[in-house]
Structure 1
Amino acid sequence: MDDLKFGTRSKRGDWAPNELLEPAPIWLFPPNPKKLLKWLPSYFFPYNLLFMISALAYWQLVVPDAAVLQTFAWGWSLKMLAMNLVLAFLWYQSWELPLYVRRRQGNRFKYNHKFPADQQSDVFWFNKQTLDNMLRSLLIGVPIWTCLQVLMLWSSANGYIPWLNFAEHPVWLGVVALVVPIIHDFHFYCIHRLIHVPVLYKYVHSVHHNSINPSPWSSLSMHPIEHLLYFGVVFWHFVIPSNPVIALYQLHFAGFGAVPGHIGFDTVETSDEQGFDTHAYMHYLHHKYFEVNYGGEGLVPVDRMFGTYHDGSKESDERMKARFRAKKERLKDKSA
């Protein structure tokens, strides 16, 4: 594919799409049914439906009966850890291998034209970003994910949190399942703004932002505190009457759904003339500029409400720079 038909490349070689980001039309007022209907398939395909299916399959094939879950045991807990490690490795590597190891499409549609493997830095373990990101994800991120998953399942089985039945509450549980991505987006925005507080950024979130040029394995490359906050999205289902299958979907959305925002390519080519949109640009801009697009997919318009939304335009650049200048002046006044 010719990526210059769909975007432009800077003098440095970095690529940017021609189309600007747009917020989800579910919040438009007055409503725009035509725009909403056009957008709706992208809400489900490809990722959300895939994570729904993965959660259902996991429930059927991996999670034991409720009677077993009522008693904590290392056997079923470690089985889940092993399965999560295998699934995470396969999912993350299925993106990393063709795009960053084999470099199947070169840097076509790649926001940052450089590849992490070509640059070493002492901010990473062993001076290698990919190895650092992989180890942090598998050795820290997935175990924390699994611990919260085990806690959720054990709590559900013992009646400590609501466990609604699909047969008795189909409409309500359907709504809860439908808003899982929205819950994630709002939760992500809240914790993301929190860990951008200077002291937390310095000691916690900077680990993730070391990957200025992210790749799929950067997705869960975090400080353990950030892992806890991030996968803590499952605690919404301790409060909202829900079902453990939907809570699993929430965790799969967090664990596997972190990848799209860190792919680093706007389009993944499937043939010489076709490809699919990764929806990665919004979060890439956050990695590039640090203080914009704190939300994940922009499903909840909090970035727009608080003036941190960046749609990729020059106007957004100017607003961002003006905000940076104002911040610099405030700091200057405080130190005076």
Structure 2
Amino acid sequence: MIHDTTKPDVTLPGKSTWNYHPNLPLEDQSLFNLKRGPILGLKVLWNSWLPISDRLIVVGVSFLTWFYLSPSLETARSFAFGWIAGVYLRNLALMVLVAGGMHLYLYTFKRQGNHLRYDARPFHKKNALYKFNSQFLDNVYWSIASGATIWTAYDVLGLWAYANGYAPMLSFSEHPVWCVLWFVLLPIYGVFHFYWIHRLLHWGPIYDKVHSLHHRNVNVGPWSGMSMHPVEHVIYLSSVLIHLVIPSHPIHFIFQLQQKVLLAITSHGGYEAITGGEDSDAGLKVGDFFHQLHHRYFECNYGEPEVPCDKWFGTFHDGTEEATARTRARLKAMRIK
């Protein structure tokens, strides 16, 4: 069911545009909305983490990864095939578990049907635009061949940098407050970084040769999130280079990488939430309609709602038909130039 919040000054999209959408127009969920006031701002931040969120789950996974699935820093002082292969297999397993698990649940077994699915159109098959003539197989190929490999390269270089003193390190015992705060602050920095590198990726020559591969996916699924050109993977994950400047713990480094990868997978899942079935609204929110609008209309919503760069620079799409008209006019003007 589409939530209809019709207001006299906006035109909302109809059923033919979206199978499902959240309440529109999209509200300003920015942590920097001064009109909201500090108390409500803290409430928005709280709700983005608790009582349970995909981001909080990734924090837990990052701790498990560091303590049980990572080489010691002593081992990481020197590059060796054994521990590097272990990191790759760990990352590959996480990617397959999350993306593959979501795809099986939502699209193979169809346990939710089209309930809470943004775009109910099927994925492309027998289409020469994609490798193997299949959107699904194309997405799997780029996610694994390039995504898991470059993710691992960053992981390996980061552990090596911590082990050899090139990345300044914090300990939880000596700096407990900062170590907790980094889990909150790093995603905010990541959103700011994403907006600017995303604008760069939409610059003509880079878009044509690099970012257009990701934008083949107008209707996205779990494997679409990390389906990118290798150059885009390098740029997209480059926010972790901040750890060469700021003191942090390897867990923060692992968390930031896992958040960028695993939440890209879940946010491109095509559904607002993963629930217990077609008749249930209770579940884990994973979808990102804000970014879904970007895949549909391209020249809008380059960032994420937490940092309002799109509002500041006039590229915000709130889901209404008026916003769609403005975006199409801007895209037409850009093509003329």
TM-score normalised according to structure 1 size? 0.90
Contact 1:164 1:243 in 2 (8 A): yes
What does residue 8 of structure 2 align with? none
What does residue 334 of structure 1 align with? none
Instruction: For structure 2, list consecutive stretches of 5 or more residues without a partner in the other structure.
Output: 6-12
Which residue, 140, 143, 160 being the options, matches 1:137? 143
* Structure 2 residue matching 1:135: 3-state secondary structure: helix
What does residue 86 of structure 2 align with? 79
Contact 2:297 2:324 in 1 (8 A): no
Counterparts of 1:196-207 in structure 2 under 5 Å? Answer: 196-207=202-213
Q: Is 1:56 the counterpart of 2:63 in the alignment?
A: yes
1:85 Cα deviation after fit: 0.6
Distance 1:242 1:289, change over 3 A: same
1:279 Cα deviation after fit: 3.5
Contact 1:219 1:259 in 2 (8 A): yes
What does residue 28 of structure 2 align with? 23
What does residue 251 of structure 1 align with? 257
Question: How many residues were matched structurally?
Answer: 326
Contact 2:32 2:41 in 1 (8 A): no
Q: Is 1:310 the counterpart of 2:310 in the alignment?
A: no
Q: Distance in 2 between matches of 1:164 and 1:37?
A: 26
More helix per residue:
1
CA deviations over 1:83-120 (Å, ceiling 9, x no partner) = 11111101111111111112222223222221205x43
What does residue 293 of structure 2 align with? 285
Counterparts of 1:224-239 in structure 2 under 5 Å? Answer: 224-239=230-245
Q: Is 1:275 the counterpart of 2:287 in the alignment?
A: no
Worse-matched range after superposition: 20-29 or 197-206: 20-29
1:323 Cα deviation after fit: 2.5
Counterparts of 1:1-336 in structure 2 under 5 Å? Answer: 3-4=1-2, 9-11=14-16, 14-33=19-38, 35-44=40-49, 45-116=52-123, 119-271=125-277, 272-276=279-283, 277-295=285-303, 297-327=304-334, 331=337
* Structure 1 residue matching 2:218: 3-state secondary structure: coil
- Cα RMSD for the two superposed structures: 2.0
1:328 Cα deviation after fit: 5.1
Distance 1:18 1:43, change over 3 A: closer
Instruction: For structure 1, list consecutive stretches of 5 or more residues without a partner in the other structure.
Output: 332-336
Q: Distance in 2 between matches of 1:156 and 1:30?
A: 41
Q: Distance in 2 between matches of 1:279 and 1:129?
A: 20
Worse-matched range after superposition: 27-36 or 133-142: 27-36
Contact 2:76 2:163 in 1 (8 A): yes
Query: Which amino acid in 1 is paired with 2:296?
Result: K
Distance 1:135 1:68, change over 3 A: same
* Structure 1 residue matching 2:153: 3-state secondary structure: helix
Q: Distance in 2 between matches of 1:209 and 1:89?
A: 21
Contact 2:299 2:330 in 1 (8 A): no
TM-score normalised according to structure 2 size? 0.90
1:181 Cα deviation after fit: 1.3
